[in-house]
């Protein structure tokens, strides 16, 4: 399941997480983000417990978007032990996302 998070619980849910975490930076005005959403949902479904999935609205969470220097969305980041280990910019087919994730799970 992909859960929506924001600035207040980012550190707890993402940075301090013991499990690998996938964060989808998106915004309602972004077409490719809307297409990527259901793809990430499917990936999350298949990955199950091995990773946590979140999405962050960059409009409402500009500080985080700036901290991670998001300059193009959709942008999916994979976090492990509080560090960014993977950045995927733009829409990606499901298979690509799965391949990239499998390196970290």
Partner 1 sequence: MSDRYDIAVIGSGPAGLEAAINAKIRNKNIIIFGNKDFSAKLVKAPKINNYLGFYNVTGKELKKHFEEHIKKMEIEITEERIDAIYAMGDYFALMVNQKTYEAKSIILATGMQYGKPIKGEEEFLGKGVGYCATCDAPLYKGKIVTIIGYNKEAEEEANYVSELASTLYYIPMYKGEYKLNENITVINDNPVEIVGDDRVNKLVMKNQTIETDGVFVLKDSISPSQLVPGLEMENEHIKVDRKMQTNIKNCYAAGDCTGKPYQYIKAAGEGQVAVLNAVENLS
Closest by Cα among 73, 72, 82 to 10: 82
d(CA 105, CA 71): 27
Please tell me whether residue 23 binds partner 1 under the rule CB under 8 A.
no
Please tell me whether residue 73 binds partner 1 under the rule CB under 8 A.
yes
Q: Is 94 exposed, middle or buried (0-12, 13-18, 19+ CB in 10 A)?
A: middle
Please tell me whether residue 59 binds partner 1 under the rule CB under 8 A.
yes
For the bound state, the minimum distance from the C-beta of residue 76 to partner 1, rounded and expressed in Å, comes to 11
Segment near partner 1 (CB under 8 A); pick from 2-10, 12-20, 78-86, 94-102: 94-102
For the bound state, the minimum distance from the C-beta of residue 73 to partner 1, rounded and expressed in Å, comes to 7
Please tell me whether residue 65 binds partner 1 under the rule CB under 8 A.
yes
Terminal CA-CA length for the chain: 16
**Which residues have a catalytic role annotated?**
30, 33
């Amino acid at each position: 399941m992909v859960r929506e998070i924001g600035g207040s619980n980012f550190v707890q849910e993402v940075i301090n997480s013991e499990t690998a975490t996938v964060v989808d930076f998106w915004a309602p005005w972004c077409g490719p983000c809307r297409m990527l959403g259901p793809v990430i949902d499917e990936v999350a479904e298949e990955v199950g417990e091995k990773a946590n999935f979140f999405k962050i609205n960059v409009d409402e969470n500009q500080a985080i978007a700036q901290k991670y220097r998001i300059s193009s969305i959709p942008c999916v980041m994979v976090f492990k032990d509080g560090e960014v280990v993977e950045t995927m910019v733009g829409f990606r087919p499901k298979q690509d996302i799965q391949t990239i994730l499998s390196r970290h799970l």
